[in-house]
């Protein structure tokens, strides 16, 4: 199909830079959005703001396909990288569509000659603290964006978080930049998952608007190298946003979540200020959601529960049973914690984590079987032939599950442990 025949899925126009604010009109699938970012008053802003809108709206444009039109000037290296970025996303999420990017002007990257600084994204969570403590000497400034994890309507709670983050920055001798935007809660969340698509590009878009001041940006990893599942921020995509001399560093994937908790928990600022919860708009950590329970379980497994003052409640291990793991990434956090719990003789904790993991795995298996059934096309009147196919399918799947879980696997496990016990004797 020729480009001329394609529809415009996303259109960016009227990009405006005034004082400390950058805004644009963004049409997504015929729906109008007014998007804005507000920076501290003294912040120098990029002379090529269209780069930021390209990065954050590309995954959303791929939901609709067609043309992604940008009325503005974009940098060449960023434009060139959009092809690989799209290749990766299309393999991760086959339901997306490739888009044709049309910008007013594609220019060579800006070459800033002045000395620039290193910034690190900082929410006060486990990954952010790990990256800050590890790279303390290299980091000049910290960045927090209001509108990404705290809604703009929650001003009172934001001010509470701001006070604590500012106190951490002061103790580490850093400046902290607070940016405010309606991008996340009011715009991108309507079209795409924050975790799978938007949070990496959203952070990159803020940094690209400040690229005159920074040449390195640390983006704390949320998974370690053993679990590189598709995420909005990922080692194979973040560098694709490098441009105008600004480089993004995916940091901390050498450590698992529980190793990070262990590493940071000796720090006084962590003990007073750690914030992992995105569910609360009142308490600092709600002590009930998956992220809170996950962190409390890690501390308990490490025999360090009670040292982090921002978790006022004690972990009730039975509550782990009520938390459903949503993806491989969360399953891996639970698995790492279970291994440490077993090592430290926290058997009750390990039992509940094991239950949580088994529950996740059996749900996956049932989902797979269910999807297999969906592939069968049955006649409208449900003929005898259809019944035969359906029964064959049920029979085979049952056999598969029984064979796999009962016969084959258990036989192997019993043999392994039988030999182990025999050797000990």
Q: Which is nearer to Zn ion, 258 or 286 (CB)?
A: 286
Q: Does 104 bind Zn ion (CB under 5 A)?
A: no
Q: Does 286 bind Zn ion (CB under 5 A)?
A: yes
Q: How far is the CB of 288 from Zn ion (least distance, A)?
A: 6
Q: Does 289 bind Zn ion (CB under 5 A)?
A: yes
Q: Does 157 bind Zn ion (CB under 5 A)?
A: no
Q: Which is nearer to Zn ion, 11 or 260 (CB)?
A: 260
Residues in 290-309 at the binding interface with Zn ion, rule: CB under 5 A: 292
Per-residue DSSP letter, 404: I
**Site stretch for Zn ion (CB under 5 A), options 103-111, 245-253, 278-286, 368-376:** 278-286
Q: How far is the CB of 322 from Zn ion (least distance, A)?
A: 13
Q: Does 161 bind Zn ion (CB under 5 A)?
A: no
Q: How far is the CB of 286 from Zn ion (least distance, A)?
A: 3
**Site stretch for Zn ion (CB under 5 A), options 89-97, 283-291, 336-344, 369-377:** 283-291
| Cα four-point dihedral sign 411, 412, 413, 418 | positive
Binding-site member from 104, 189, 279, 403 for Zn ion (CB under 5 A):
279
Q: How far is the CB of 148 from Zn ion (least distance, A)?
A: 16
Exposure string (b/e) for 229-249, b if CB count within 10 Å is 16 or more? ebbbbbbebbebbbbbbbebb
**Site stretch for Zn ion (CB under 5 A), options 82-90, 184-192, 279-287, 383-391:** 279-287
Give the total of residues touching Zn ion (CB under 5 A).
5
Q: Are 129 and 228 in contact (CB under 8 A)?
A: no
Give dist(CA 143, CA 207) in Å, integer. Answer: 9
Give dist(CA 305, CA 296) in Å, integer. Answer: 7
Residue 104: CA count within 13 A, CB half-sphere? 13
CA angle 169, 189, 278 (to 5 degrees): 40
Q: How far is the CB of 204 from Zn ion (least distance, A)?
A: 26
- Work out whether strand 99-107 and strand 66-75 pair parallel, antiparallel, or are unpaired: parallel
In this chain, which residue has its C-beta nearest to Zn ion?
277
Binding-site member from 277, 296, 302, 325 for Zn ion (CB under 5 A):
277
* Pick from 93, 122, 98, 103: nearest CA to 192: 93
Per-residue DSSP letter, 194: I
Give dist(CA 256, CA 245) in Å, integer. Answer: 30
Contacting residues toward Zn ion, per CB under 5 A: 277, 279, 286, 289, 292
């Amino acid at each position: 199909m020729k480009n001329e025949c394609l529809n415009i899925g996303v259109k960016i126009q009227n990009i405006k830079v005034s004082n400390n604010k950058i805004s644009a009109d963004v049409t997504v699938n015929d729906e109008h959005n007014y998007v804005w970012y507000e920076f501290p008053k003294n912040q120098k802003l990029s002379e090529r703001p269209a780069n930021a809108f390209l990065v954050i709206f590309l995954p959303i444009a791929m939901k609709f396909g067609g043309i992604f039109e940008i009325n503005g000037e974009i940098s060449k290296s960023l434009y060139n990288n959009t092809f690989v970025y799209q290749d990766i996303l299309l393999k991760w999420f086959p339901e997306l569509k490739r888009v044709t990017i049309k910008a007013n002007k594609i220019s060579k990257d800006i070459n800033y000659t002045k000395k620039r600084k290193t910034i690190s994204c900082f929410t006060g969570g486990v990954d952010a603290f790990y990256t800050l403590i590890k790279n303390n000497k290299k980091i000049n400034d910290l960045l927090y964006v209001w509108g990404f994890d705290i809604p703009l309507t929650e001003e009172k709670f934001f001010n509470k978080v701001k006070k604590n983050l500012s106190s951490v920055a002061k103790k580490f001798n850093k400046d902290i930049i607070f940016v405010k935007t309606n991008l996340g809660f009011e715009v991108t969340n309507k079209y795409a998952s924050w975790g799978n698509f938007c949070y990496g590009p959203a952070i990159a878009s803020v940094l690209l608007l400040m690229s005159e001041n920074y040449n390195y940006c640390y983006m704390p990893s949320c998974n370690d190298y053993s679990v590189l599942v598709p995420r909005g921020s990922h080692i194979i995509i973040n560098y694709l946003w490098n441009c105008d001399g600004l480089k993004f560093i995916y940091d901390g994937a050498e450590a698992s979540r529980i190793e990070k908790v262990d590493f940071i928990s000796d720090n006084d600022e962590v003990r007073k200020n750690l914030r992992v919860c995105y569910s609360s708009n009142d308490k600092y950590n709600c002590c009930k959601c998956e992220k809170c329970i996950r962190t409390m379980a890690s501390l308990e497994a490490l025999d360090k529960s009670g040292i982090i003052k921002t978790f006022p409640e004690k972990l009730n291990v039975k509550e782990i049973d009520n938390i459903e793991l949503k993806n491989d990434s969360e399953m891996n956090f639970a698995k790492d914690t279970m291994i440490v719990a077993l090592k430290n003789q926290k058997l009750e904790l390990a039992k509940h984590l094991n239950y949580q993991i088994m529950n996740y795995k059996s749900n996956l298996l049932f989902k797979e079987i269910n999807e297999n059934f969906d592939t069968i096309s049955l006649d409208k009147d449900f003929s005898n032939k259809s019944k035969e196919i359906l029964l064959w399918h049920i029979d085979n799947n049952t056999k598969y599950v029984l064979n796999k879980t009962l016969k084959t696997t258990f036989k192997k496990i019993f043999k392994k442990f039988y030999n182990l016990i025999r050797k000990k004797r």
